[in-house]
Chain A
Amino acid sequence: MMMPRSTGYPAVIADVAPVTPTLRRFDIRATAQPFPPVSAGSHGVFAFGDAVRTWKNPYSIVARSDDGSMLRIIVRLAQGSRGGSAFLHGQGRPGLEITVLGIANLFPVVRKARRHILLSAGVGITPFLSYMDAMDGMGLAYCLHHYCRPEERQAFHALLADRDPGRVVLHDDPDTGRLSEILAAEPVSSRLSMCGPDGFMNWVGAVARDVGFSPGKIHSERFSAPEGGAAFRVDLARSGLSVSVGPEDTLLDALEAAGIEAPCLCRGGACGACRVAVLSGVPDHRDHVLAEAERAAGDCILTCVSRARTATLTLDL
């Protein structure tokens, strides 16, 4: 697959370090203009790959150096994954070229709120590393509760070693009674932000609502890793083109490779920017944006993560 018309910030991997057996930290150095300032909670879309293929994956930006020369991300190796994250774990060594295609924020800090409780599990800690830096700078009160496996405790302890110990609590046991006590003690002004696997967020969300958090004060960001599936074909009604989507490609990648100007922002099923109308065929929705009714109607698709249940889809492109 070809690299896209490359706008964005050219960069290389400068340093790699393990965080836990499944998490790896990458420091990425800009090779042309410096990276722009980054607001806490932002993600970047990173393009990288080899002669065979290119991935464009979203990762939370953990930190940016003051001079804009470096960005830091943490990447998780999913079990059995053959995607971009597996490639970075395997081939992501200093010198590997990476382009930062774009930076956006779908998970901004609610700056007006004076008190924040942050809940994360596993790699879900990444946006909160930037949150805590920003909140320290703004003088906002916060407390992070991070959940991990007992054997990872040491590694996360090290990752959080230079943080205020009064504001960071590690848990290696998802105890509902304990979480309920923690949340119920929050002041009325508190905002809750959570990040982690779906099961974790469903659990935290349920406990939070149970102690009386109003839905609007529970904030989360849900990205989906695009997973492969059966190959399918899309017919584009406006341009008259036909594009085939391989089992490992995303629909969005395939459209871009065919030279179609397809809208997108997060490339992780989290923002809705890539929504396209479906004229025929049945979409296989894998995003976190569409409402239940929109899913059922089947007349639109988020091209960055979703696929097809039918052999072909006709899109309004």
Chain B
Amino acid sequence: MLNASSLLPVGPLRFDEGGRRHLFVRQAPQLSVPSGPVPTAMTTWTVGGDSRVLPDPSEHEQFFRSAAHLLDRLAWRLATERVGLRLYAAGDDTFLSAVALTGDAAGMTGEEMYLAPPVQGGRRVICIHCSTMHDDVADEGLSCAGCGAVLSVRSHYSRRIGAYMGVAESAPPVGTEETGR
């Protein structure tokens, strides 16, 4: 049956036996690794939140200074990666959006990327009127930081943009156009 949803597919992480190499990226050290027997060719990348750390390629777990640092290296790694990789990600909505974008750009498909349910409730929302991006939006509505529009968040997610749609649809004043121009 057709899956008529545009939301990022998330679910509990499990190692995919079809993969030959496995890379788990996480936004914090306490996020748990995928379940199931741990494959031998498995690497974990963890955001350390510390400007002094350096990823050590000889280790099974490597630490990165920030999520941005990790995502940057992820794009480089995927650009030279061979077939057989499976990518797993855990973190908040913003982190997962960015991982999915990076994987998509490298030509990976949904069968090769697995995303854990986001760790916080907050979502990433783009203002459809002015393109201002808002991270970690916990509610169904917000005021756009760019144009001031009072946005409601639609249950519609763009993987290409990496955000939900925010639209000022809570009944704007009558006849805006006639009076506004």
Contacts and interface: CB of A to CB of B under 8 A. Distances in A.
A and B touch in the complex (CB under 8 A): yes
Interface of A: 113-115, 183-190, 209, 211-217
Nearest to A192: B83
B156 interface: no
Interface string B14-30: 00001111000000000
A187 B86 CA distance: 13
A28 B106 CA distance: 42
Contacts of A188: 78, 81-85, 106-108, 112
B107 A212 contact: no
B18 A189 contact: no
Contacts, number: 56
Identify the interface centre among A183, A189, A213: most chain B CB within 10 Å of its CB.
A189
Interface of B: 18-21, 78, 80-86, 106-112
Given A184-B82, A211-B84, A213-B84, A189 B108 contact: yes
Contact of B82 (A113, A186, A214): A186
A186 B82 CA distance: 6
B79 to A, nearest CB: 9
B81 A187 contact: yes
Contacts of B107: 113-115, 187-190
A234 to B, nearest CB: 31
Contact of A214 (B80, B81, B106, B111): B111
Contacts of B112: 188, 214
B18 A186 contact: no
A183 B83 contact: yes
A213 B109 contact: no
Contacts of B109: 214, 216-217
Contacts of A186: 82-83
